[in-house]
Amino acid sequence: MSASPPPVAADDAITELYAKHALGLTRLALIMVGDRESAEDVVQEAFLGLHRRFGALRDQGKALFYLRSAVLNNARTVLRRRRLPSWFAGTYEPPVWSAESAMLLGAERREVMEALHRLPRRQREALVLRYYADLSEEETAQVMGVSRGTVKSTTSRALDALGSLLGEDR
């Protein structure tokens, strides 16, 4: 027995969220997973999950928080699957930046992105949510499912580690 489809108002709300936030969420996922195709899949799955559960949300005004959390969790799943050996899947090859992307991004930005991807998952998530997605400490804590203090300490450690990787003093 399948659940009934969400009401039209839900479709309108989700369509509006998609129009306003899909690009930013895709960029967030791209930073986390490292390739565009996986990032787009991560965001699509987040929106599908929201569509399935929209009527069950306690506060439908917090749907964007749901989406951010879903994108982060889906990105974690993608990264976890890449680490697991599988007899039916080939080896994961990290994305190779195209010549056009490499030229546009510049050496410094590539170096920062590479250093960011060498950070532990939680530190990378904290930095991306705080400084790329421009979320407050409280919003970052909600998305990550941790306390505000954890966000502060994790962000501080991540900035120190990123500075060390880049050979800079903070």
Mean pLDDT for the chain? Answer: 81
Q: What is the pLDDT of residue 97?
A: 56
Indicate whether this model's pTM tops 0.75. no
The closest of 40, 50, 54 to 6, measured between CA atoms, is 54
Place of tokens 């659940």: 3
Confidence of residue 48 (pLDDT cuts 50, 70, 90): very high
Confidence of residue 13 (pLDDT cuts 50, 70, 90): confident
High-pLDDT (> 90) share of the chain, %: 33
Rounded Cα distance between 91 and 124, Å, is 23
What contacts 122, CB < 8 A, 6 or more positions away?
Answer: 144, 154
Q: What is the pLDDT of residue 25?
A: 93
